[in-house]
Chains A and B, each alone.
Chain A
Amino acid sequence: MAYDAVVIGSGIIGSFTALSLYQRGLNVAVVDRGGLAPGTSRSSDGNLLCSDKSGGPLLELSRRSLTLWDAFVAEHGNDCEYDPKGSTVVARGDEQARDLAAHVEAHRSAGIDCEFLDGGWARLERELAPEVTAVGHWRHDAQVQPMLACYQIARLLRARGVPYHLYRDVTSIEESDAGVRIGLEGGETLDCGHVGLCTGVWTNDLLAPLSLSVAVRPRKGHICVLERGDVTVNSKIADFGYNATAEDTSGDDSGVQTAAIIESTRSGTILCGSSREFSGFDRAVSSETLRRVLADCIEIVPALARLRVIRGYAGLRPFSPDGLPMIGPVGSTGRLIVATGHEGAGHGLAPVTGDLVARCIVDRDTHPFDGVLHPQRFAS
């Protein structure tokens, strides 16, 4: 057996999965059909948030994962612009302020470090619109530059002898009692004990030939990038309405939902999100959607109108019908482990996901996290 495990996909989920497996002592290889992290990780902002989770397993996973992010940076250094800058959720109108207060209270009772402010938030953010009536502040929410995180892990693993087969499409996956044989474009094959399928919205491309599938759907999002300038955005600033769109699992495909989320990056640019729509695998950028996204953000931080738009991009979030990721074995042999369905929370959940995949492979735990994440839970 050439490898104990092969990870397909070098995005944030694949990167942390490969790292987890390597750290558990496995002999690992990574395969990607594009360059490094050519899919969703490349077209995301890097939200590591608890503030937008209403509760339940997703909040618990997010909290655990944030701790693992801290540990990652402590152990390997911070080459990925990881910044626990906190997040600020803003409410407009009295009704939204009351709902936000209740949301903060629920998080506080779950032990999350956050506070509700109905005034005096200028010390946190001084550019908020006068229409803002209240804010919630989550002190430990963080931000990362996802591509640099994937790159940091790639360099780290490569330096330890883990091969990265980039620009190599997987042409076949054959399971047997002895193991799995992965065929690569160009004829090469990789024999391994287990496969980690960290291929996000494209997971079914690989599962279909095996007559398998998972319930993941691409949900498109747009981000509008503003040039660095004189507008100060300290934390992640999100409209309270963002939580509702992020957690909306209705699968409604009738149009484009938008909700403001704003962050500054290490380089000084400001990223403005977000939009959500179901439009297949099309990744084309729509200027109309970008304009709506940006208009929403300007409503919350009017000073943004002074800056220049330098680009816009779109990506596909792996949507899951119940809002929880799908992590665990598919098929009958237990050798194929999928990790997808993280929607917009993949960067936040990547370290805990890598750990759960490693449990499936190393500890033969077939129902990690009490089975609520099982990829085939929708089948019955």
Chain B
Amino acid sequence: MPHPEQNAASNAVAIIGAGPAGLAATRELAAAGMAIEIFDEQPRAGGNVGRVATGAPPTELERMATAQPGVTLHSSHRVTAIGRYHTVESAGPDGYEIRRFAAILLCCGAYDLALPLPGVPGPGISSAGALQALLKGQGVVPRGRVVIAGSGPFLYVAADGLARAGVPVTAVVDRLSATDYARLALPGLAVPGNGLEFMLRLWSLRRHGVRILQGRRPTSAAGGRLQVDSGEELPFDRLGLSDLFVPQSQLARTAGCRQRYSGDGGYFVTETDQDGRTSVDSIYVCGEGQGVRGWRHALLSGRLAALAALNDLGRTPARAPTLTLIRHRRRLLNAFGARLERIMRERETPANGGDSVVCACEGTRLDAVREAVDLGLRDLSSIKVVTRCGMGPCQGRYCEPVVSRLIESGGNVPTDPLNQRALTRPVPAGEFVDGV
């Protein structure tokens, strides 16, 4: 078997992720006549925002893949690493594959997580994003009383989706207060759609009889009851928590793209120029990978990254874009998203309870991480190797932001993210070695 790194480069562009950023990039590249291969982990294209159930009519990307010979969609493919020489490694129905591309656009989105809380992990508790994904992708309707708690506008999106599906959502508990949302009004003028959506959701939730507690934070989720700092107790059968969103930057790390710590979001993010070029040639990051900014930003940044790739490959876009205008609109959305993140960070509370679980995969507790921080460790990999925090199958997706916060509370800025080792997703060993 020839070494894949010696294979001739394909002329195609690989797009990893079939959400809004991937869609916008595909539109632009397809219009310019490029061959495009889209890899997506899910059975249906759409990403988190555009997720559809198995039987739903084709999404826009799926229709493009059917109608246009240059557009290939590899659904149900887990991309596990971006190798040197622009190789995409994927595990899918056809086995483990390593293939080269002319350029790679990483449109991997973001995921939500909860900060440590006594009682978590526990029965009936998951991320709010997971509840939403189950409902949208598989039509799974949770039974019993549902409480959604955490921070920011996504809580209302998740709760509203569930309420509309007939789920008895009893309450939304949001760390942000009405005043916090008022502080977003001015930068929000640049994104009128966001504000309107938010109002409609609130109205819809009230109509469904959902209580909305703003400016309140959960203090414990033990024993099927969510304790709120107001002293109230909210019993639940299912609890969806969401305190922050974090970019999926694992693949960019396997590619060696430089990362920086974003104090706004409290996570590591890939360094890019305004169009999405990373520190590695021919690798672009767009959408939430540039910092969590929402789907409207993802559409613009996906388009900009596609235009940058065309330019770098010496190709001409279908029609001359008004780059300045797109960049300007992207900057406005970026500023709004950063402002929201800063407000959400202000409302975070320091993790308490030394035996709260930081790393669910390995069961690492808060105290163990604090001890490592006290020794002076301030890079994520050092803390991982001495506490096991981040060594499990999730590869630190869930604990890295929490550990970053503990490093910050020790008076330091996290210096380096977890060293992302190959295989960002587990692959059956038998499948991995097939063909060796």
Contact = CB atoms under 8 A, between A and B. Distances in A.
Contacts of A298: 429-430, 433
A150 B382 CA distance: 11
Interface string B208-237: 000000000000000000000000000000
Interface in A261-319: 267, 269, 284-288, 290-292, 294-295, 298, 304-313
Given A42-B381, A308-B429, A313-B422, 4 more contacts: A34-B382, A285-B81, A287-B81, A288-B98
Given A164-B376, A287-B89, A294 B423 contact: no
A155 interface: yes
A309 B426 contact: yes
Nearest to B372: A151
Contacts of A154: 375
Contact of A164 (B96, B375, B378): B375
A158 interface: yes
A164 B386 CA distance: 16
A290 B378 contact: no
Given A36-B382, A312-B421, A155 B375 contact: yes
Given A35-B377, A292-B436, A286 B395 contact: no
Interface centre among A36, A158, A292 (most CB of B within 10 A): A36
26 contacts: A35-B382, A38-B382, A42-B385, A164-B376, A226-B429, A227-B393, A284-B256, A287-B81, A288-B3, A290-B423, A291-B433, A291-B436, A295-B433, A298-B433, A305-B430, A305-B433, A306-B430, A307-B428, A307-B429, A308-B428, A309-B426, A310-B392, A310-B423, A311-B421, A313-B421, A313-B422
Interface centre among B4, B376, B378, B395 (most CB of A within 10 A): B376
A227 B256 CA distance: 24
Interface string A146-182: 0110110011001000001011000000000000000
A68 B304 CA distance: 61
Given A285-B422, A312-B422, A305 B429 contact: yes
Contacts of B98: 287-288
Interface centre among A151, A287, A304, A313 (most CB of B within 10 A): A287
A154 B386 CA distance: 11
Contacts of B198: none
Interface in B381-435: 381-383, 385-386, 388, 391-393, 395, 415, 421-423, 426-430, 432-433
B240 to A, nearest CB: 27
Interface residues of A, number: 41
A287 B96 CA distance: 10
B40 interface: no
Interface in A20-54: 34-38, 42
B379 interface: yes
B81 A147 contact: no
Contacts of A304: 429
Contacts of B254: 285
B83 A306 contact: no
Contacts of A151: 372, 375, 386
A38 B436 CA distance: 32
A186 B212 CA distance: 52
Interface string A117-156: 0000000000000000000000000000001101100110
Contact of B421 (A148, A227, A285): A285
Given A167-B415, A284-B84, A295-B433, A36 B386 contact: yes
Interface in B31-81: 80-81
Contacts of B422: 285, 287, 290, 311-313
Contact of A312 (B379, B423, B433): B423
B264 interface: no
B348 interface: no
Interface centre among A164, A286, A307 (most CB of B within 10 A): A286
Contact of A306 (B388, B421, B429, B433): B429
B362 interface: yes
A155 B391 CA distance: 21
Contacts of B432: 290-291, 294, 309
B80 to A, nearest CB: 8
A34 B416 CA distance: 10
Contact of A36 (B256, B377, B415, B429): B377
Contacts of A290: 422-423, 432
A150 B372 CA distance: 12
Contacts of B381: 35, 38, 42
B323 to A, nearest CB: 34
Given A36-B382, A311-B395, A288 B4 contact: yes
Contacts of B80: 287
B100 to A, nearest CB: 13
A36 B433 CA distance: 34
Interface in A197-255: 226-227
Contacts of A155: 371, 375
A35 B403 CA distance: 15
Contacts of B375: 36, 151, 154-155, 158, 164
Interface string B127-143: 00000000000000000
A329 B261 CA distance: 42
Interface string B227-266: 0000000000000000000000000001010000000000
A308 B427 contact: yes
B429 A166 contact: no
A88 B372 CA distance: 35
Contacts of A294: 429, 432-433
A282 to B, nearest CB: 9
B423 A311 contact: yes
B429 A309 contact: yes
A305 B432 CA distance: 9
Contacts of A148: 386
B63 to A, nearest CB: 33
Contacts of B421: 285, 311-313
Contacts of A226: 429
Contacts of B386: 36, 147-148, 150-151
B360 to A, nearest CB: 14
A291 B3 CA distance: 12
B83 A287 contact: yes
A166 B426 CA distance: 33
Interface string A73-108: 000000000000000000000000000000000000
B426 A227 contact: yes
Nearest to B383: A35
Contacts of B5: 288
A308 to B, nearest CB: 4
Nearest to B87: A287
B385 to A, nearest CB: 4
B325 to A, nearest CB: 40
A267 B391 contact: yes
B376 A166 contact: yes
A34 B372 CA distance: 14
Contacts of B382: 34-38
A235 B422 CA distance: 26
Interface in B352-389: 362, 371-372, 375-379, 381-383, 385-386, 388
Given A148-B386, A227-B426, A298-B429, A310 B393 contact: yes
